[in-house]
Amino acid sequence: MKQLSLSASVLGSNCLRKLWLIANGIEGPEPDEATRRIFDIGKALEPVAIEWERRKGREVFYNAKSHEDDPDFVLEVGRGVIVGRFDAVFDREILVDIKTCNLNKFAKLLEGVVPWEWLVQVNVYFFGLKLGCCRDDIRELVESIKKVGIYGVHKESGKTVEVVKDPDLRIFEDVLRKASIVFSTEDPFVLEIDADECNRCKFRGVCKDLGKHVGKELEEGVGKGLEKGTGEDLGRGGR
Ligand code: SF4
């Protein structure tokens, strides 16, 4: 039986149907060129931001990786797994995800307000690493991590902001609950959705069309323009 998989970067979604589609390896329509470029800019800025922090004299572990690399942790939840690849650890204590931001998001971070999806992502990294780290080379580092954080880079100005928080076990427990429901459900159309997410969802326009026949579509590997994938969301990092 195929292993179901959800990455930390998508688990902030409140649409369990979306999580089901991702868990079953469906990526949705290919992103357009503009979206790809935004993603590429975010990736390109990561090592630059790391260098800025090192220049300040900080100890920074940069987890340079690609979507093809093995995950840093694997947590078994029922018939599926939660996986993740974190960005960096600052000062051996703060596990951070690096986000390139528009002015609006950057201003929110300056006020200490972290978007829910990002908060979930870093908490899943934290507890996922503590419970299911599968890399010998970072075990000691993982033991020393105490906080989670978002490191925001404002694209236009190059200004940065760092919001650091205590890990939140309740967030992680809620993620386990969601993943458990998604992994144990056969029909995605019985799952709870969040209509507020539809406008920015990559499955917009296709999830409803699949209707009750989604199981058959997946079995045949047709998916009406959908493609099989790894479950890692291109939108990772909120770029
Ligand atoms: S389009 Fe809406 S209902 Fe469908 S998967 Fe996306 S968020 Fe969920």
Domain CATH number, residue 122: 3.90.320
For residue 223, what pLDDT is reported? 43
Whether the predicted pLDDT of 221 surpasses 60: no
Nearby residues of 173 by Cβ (< 8 Å), 6 or more positions away: none
User: pLDDT value at position 67?
Assistant: 65
The pLDDT assigned to 236 comes to 35
Structural domain harbouring 225: 4-238
193 lines ligand 1 (CB under 6 A): yes
Identify whether the C-beta of residue 33 lies closer than 8 Å to the C-beta of residue 150.
no
User: 214: pLDDT confidence band, cut at 50, 70 and 90?
Assistant: very low
Say yes or no: CB of residue 201 within 6 Å of ligand 1.
yes
CA–CA separation, 36 and 59 (whole Å): 31
**What pLDDT does 229 receive?**
36
Query: Stretch 117-124: mean pLDDT, rounded?
Result: 98
Pocket residue to mutate for ligand 1, from 203, 210, 214, most atoms within 8 A of Cβ = 203
Residues forming a β-bridge with 162? 151
For residue 235, pLDDT beyond 50: no
Confidence of residue 239 (pLDDT cuts 50, 70, 90): very low
* Average pLDDT value over all residues in the chain: 87
Mean of the pLDDT values across residues 4-21?
95
CA of 140 relative to ligand 1 center, distance in Å: 40
Residue 102: its pLDDT value, please?
92
CA of 12 to the centre of ligand 1 (A): 14
**Of 62-66, 91-95, 148-152, which range is least confident?**
62-66
Tokens at 217, concatenated: 């579509």
189 in ligand 1 pocket by Cβ < 6 Å?
no
Does position 68 have pLDDT exceeding 50, yes or no? yes
Using a 6 Å cutoff on CB, does residue 124 contact ligand 1? no
Instruction: Note the pLDDT tens digit of each residue in 159-210.
Output: 999 999 999 999 999 999 999 999 999 988 899 999 899 888 988 877 766 6
pLDDT at 222 over 80: no
Least confident of 50-64, 134-148, 188-202, 203-217: 203-217
Contact 197, 13 (CB under 8 A): yes
Q: How confident is the model at residue 226 (pLDDT cuts 50, 70, 90)?
A: very low
212 three-class SS: helix
Average pLDDT over residues 97-108: 95
Q: Are 58 and 91 in contact (CB under 8 A)?
A: yes
pLDDT band at 227 (very low <50, low <70, confident <90, very high): very low
198 close to ligand 1 (CB < 6 Angstrom): yes
The rounded percent of the chain whose pLDDT value lies above 70 is 85
Give me the number of domains the chain comprises: 1
Residue 151: is its pLDDT beyond 80? yes
105, pLDDT greater than 90: yes
Which are the contacts of 138, defined by CB distance < 8 A and separation ≥ 6? 61, 63, 72, 129
What are the C-alpha distances in Å from 172 to residues 89, 131, 211? 19, 12, 31
Is the per-residue pLDDT at 46 higher than 90?
Answer: yes
Is any ligand 1 atom within 6 A of the Cβ of residue 17?
yes
